Amino acid sequence: MKFTFLGTGSGVPAKHRNVASLALHLMNKESAIWLFDCGEATQHHILHTSIKLRKMEKIFITHLHGDHIFGLPGLLGSRSFQGGESPLTIIGPKGIREFVETSIRISTSHINYPLHIEEIEEDGIVYEDDFFIVKTRELIHGIPSYGFRIQQKDLPGPLLISKVKDAGIPPGPVYERLKKGEEVILPDGRIFQGKDFIGLPKKGKIIAIIGDTRLSENAIHLAKGANTLVHEATFSSVDEEIAYTYFHSTTKDAAKVANLAGVNELILNHISSRYQQEDLGQLLLEAKSIFSNTFIAEDFSTFTV
């Protein structure tokens, strides 16, 4: 999997940071994209990447503040113009349905693909298929705001070719059946069980994406053992009173979550426009003083999980 950060700022667009949006490339056969939040001008930033709207399968919305949703109606319309025909699902807090449907109706936009909108009713599983499970928990913000845990299910173990050869099993379609764990009967009458020739499952990756919040126990729960944690860090630690007043996190708050959750890496996101490029070094040092493997995302940054 891979991230492309399309907007890493907070509140209002700035010259170097657009407002919130993050694309997750599943890197599967379909090259599917999941989008997390869709601030103003998200689709414009997409034009500067290799992302195709028709490949977008799901959009997860953390909360309904404008800097996280104002780009959504335009993106949905453009997906039709660009030939998107496959279904698209939006998952977000209560009210996202009204926002999307009202925007489409009043603007007389035409959506030429199946659009499904699911509102989060409670903490728990919001999506699951054969490969992924997505869980959410409510965070601490001025309005309902959610974090997401994206867990890749364990991948099947590899076929142990050397063991197959040692057993004298000739190559051919039988290898595929063994890989699936099936029983096979060879022409000479020998019987083998596929499970005896399969290695240990490969552990699936875990990603946590934390929306706007104060320091939160639920954020720690969602991030437990994650490979990558993306956490808002709107304010410097010297501005912790402002952060608390506006229901946001500081650099050190995000680092505390990473440390307590035992993640592999932390990516700071949602940086206030009050901080300029020359301030980023100090912001990074604040977080690294608690959790060393920390990075600050820039617009168009990419990270491989």
Could you identify the residue written with the tokens 């104002």?
70
DSSP structure string for 86-107? S-EEEEESTTHHHHHHHHHHHT
Tokens of 131: 């490969």
Residues 6+ apart with CB under 8 A from 63: 92, 93, 141, 143, 144, 145, 146, 211, 212
Active-site residue, selected from the candidate residues 37, 67, 212, 239: 67
Single-letter amino acid code for the residue at 147: G
Annotation says 212 is catalytic: no
Residues composing the chain: 305
3-state SS string for 5-50:
EEECECCCCCCCCCCCEEEEECCCCCCCEEEEEECCCHHHHHCCCC
Q: Which residues form the catalytic set? A: 67
